[in-house]
Structure 1
Amino acid sequence: MGPRMVKEPADRVEGAVRLRPLTSADLPSAQPLTAALRWPHRVEDWAFALALGDGLAAELDGRLVGTIMGWRYGADAAALGFVVVADAAQGRGIGRALTEAMLGILGQRSVTLTATEAGLPLYRSLGFTGTGLVRQHQGGTFSAELIPLPPGQRLRPLGRSDAPVLATLDRRALGLQRDSLIEALLPVSDGVVLDREGEAIGFALIRRFGHGQVIGPVVAPDLAGARALIAHWLGSRSGQFIRIDVPEESGLSPWLQSLGLEEVGTGAVMVRGTPPQGDGTLRGFALVSQAMG
């Protein structure tokens, strides 16, 4: 599935800067923008994100100098990310123009993003408020033993018919309709399901991303279940570079630190509108990515 065509603001001009749809042909030029910030995204990571959402590019004198992407999660919610402006183009209001344009495309949905410290003033001025932190853990030297599960629970491999089950679990945990995202993740991920007497009650995916592999999303009914799911992947990926982005309220950070996955940064979770809410029976313990939530 390719990027949806964006009818506006294809011809919008901000001084000498033109905003237009971001396309797959732009990605080899866009990837260096994140590389300059020491973000690990490969062109393939950019392509995966763009295929599921809308993107805008900012051009200055014919050169790509800024990007943004947005993803619709049903009729009521969305996520926003990949907001990047080249150093040489700073101070022209490009970040604001891109963000305002993407918010216009996403409409009246509640919009969530993970902000860097530099982006906080812009997002606050656009009506976003902070709701928490995301803690990024990563490393290639870690040790994780398998965690015993209560009677009646087990981990099983992801099955071919599990896509709608995982989408339902994800929606119960986060209150987001992300069926298309979950469906797109499965062909590029390995997965394990937390099962209780034949009923799926959680899952964890792992896929290629950046410098190695990333664990996420992780959905579970409690902290013990989340640890068991994550430990499964850590135990089977010994010596490989692993990243995982967890909400601060997950309670996972001290445990991840103790395993050797160091915390290397944080991001501020911000929302414009009413924050989405799950049904309270499940929780999201790790993100797909900081951009896509």
Structure 2
Amino acid sequence: MANLIYRALGSRDLDEAHALSKAVAWPHSLEDWKFIIQLGSGIGAFEDGRLCGTGCWWPLGDSFATVGMIIVSPELQGRGIGRVLMDRAMTDAGERSLVLNATQAGLPLYEKLGFKAVGAVRQHQIAGSKPQDVSVPGGSRLRPLTKDDRPALQQLDALATGMDRTAALDAIIESAVGLVLERDGQVAGFSFFRRFGRGYVIGPTIATEVDDAKGLIGSFLNEHRTEFLRVDVPVESGLSEWLSDQGLPKVDEVVTMVRGHRPHREDNGPHVFSLINQALG
């Protein structure tokens, strides 16, 4: 441990970061790592020049940030590396309130650092789902997303999350297939389908009504039923049981935690029905 140093992660470290995530059985591809790093900042722990730990954080405006990708090599776990990586990320984030999704293994550390549990996220996935036909509510229609929809997406997302995720949304718009739910000529919800991990992820999905979210997600499920699909949904979304009925069983659950102020969201406004991913929220 005498030769352990910490420094910023760069593009030259991504192959090692990818190998590290594989070593702990996380599904992230090299492309996922590139996406992660371009949106935020990474810190690496290096022992004798070898990457043995990672931590990342992503600014969401001036008031909030998310923290994730806290990974330590299996042979070095329990030696305080994760604590140092978290301390570095928290220091770099400054006065921002922090949000993260914690595995059961990471939960004790985050509690010691002052994070409080505020919810949970359920991971649903399967290869070759058998979804039922899902229709959109009356008076609504689905259409492909266009770049002209960007302001409406930003507004809905900000209301749903209470945070500024403009950079992440812009990156997703450029790289994913998007669907918009339109009602009375206005954008009332949206969802994305993009490569992630072992196959594809559906998210983020933002909508006001649960039936709107089902229509958006269900459209992707039916179109891509032969692919490996993953959907991460907040417990309060009400979609977990529905996804199981669609042939995507729950395979894991993580705890959503906040350090500082919890983002403000209106109860009668739009909600997050599926995540970008567990790191970014």
Residue 24 of structure 1 is matched in structure 2 by: 11
Mean CA deviation greater in 258-267 or 145-154: 145-154
Q: Distance in 1 between matches of 2:213 and 2:136?
A: 11
Structure 1 residue 16: deviation in Å?
3.1
- Cα distance in 2 for partners of 1:51, 1:264 equals 29
- Structure 2 counterpart of 1:289, from 270, 277, 280: 277
Q: Distance in 2 between matches of 1:182 and 1:282?
A: 16
- Partner in structure 2 of residue 69 of structure 1: 56
Once the two structures are overlaid, the 10-residue window that deviates more, 257-266 or 151-160, is 151-160
The within-5 A match list for 1:192-231 is 192-231=179-218
Which structure 1 residue ranges, 5 or more long, are not aligned? 1-13
Structure 1 letter corresponding to 2:271: R
Q: Tell me if the contact between 1:164 and 1:179 (Cα under 8 Å) persists in the aligned partners.
A: no
Write the distance in 2 (CA, Å) between the matches of 1:140 and 1:191: 21
Residues 244-292 of structure 1: per-residue CA shift (max 9 Å, x gap): 1000111111111111101111111111011112233110000000000
1: CA distance between counterparts of 2:4 and 2:154? 40
CA deviation map 1:172-218 (0-9, x unaligned): 11111011110000111001001111100100001011111000000
Letter in structure 1 aligned against 2:48: D
3-state secondary structure, aligned to 1:142: coil
CA displacement at 1:15 relative to structure 2: 4.5
Shifted more, 139-148 versus 281-290: the winner is 139-148
SS of 2:105's equivalent in the other structure is helix
Distance 1:101 1:194 in 2: 41
**What is the root-mean-square deviation in Å for CA atoms of aligned residues?**
1.2
Encode CA deviations 1:154-174: one digit per residue, 9 max, x unaligned: 111101211222111111111
Q: Unmatched 5+ residue regions in structure 2?
A: none
Residues in 1 aligned to 2:235 and 2:91: alpha-carbon distance in whole angstroms:
30
* 1:256 equivalent among 223, 243, 249: 243
Instruction: Give the Cα separation in 2 of the matches to 1:195 and 1:144.
Output: 23
AA aligned opposite 1:107: G
Amino acid at match of 1:161: D
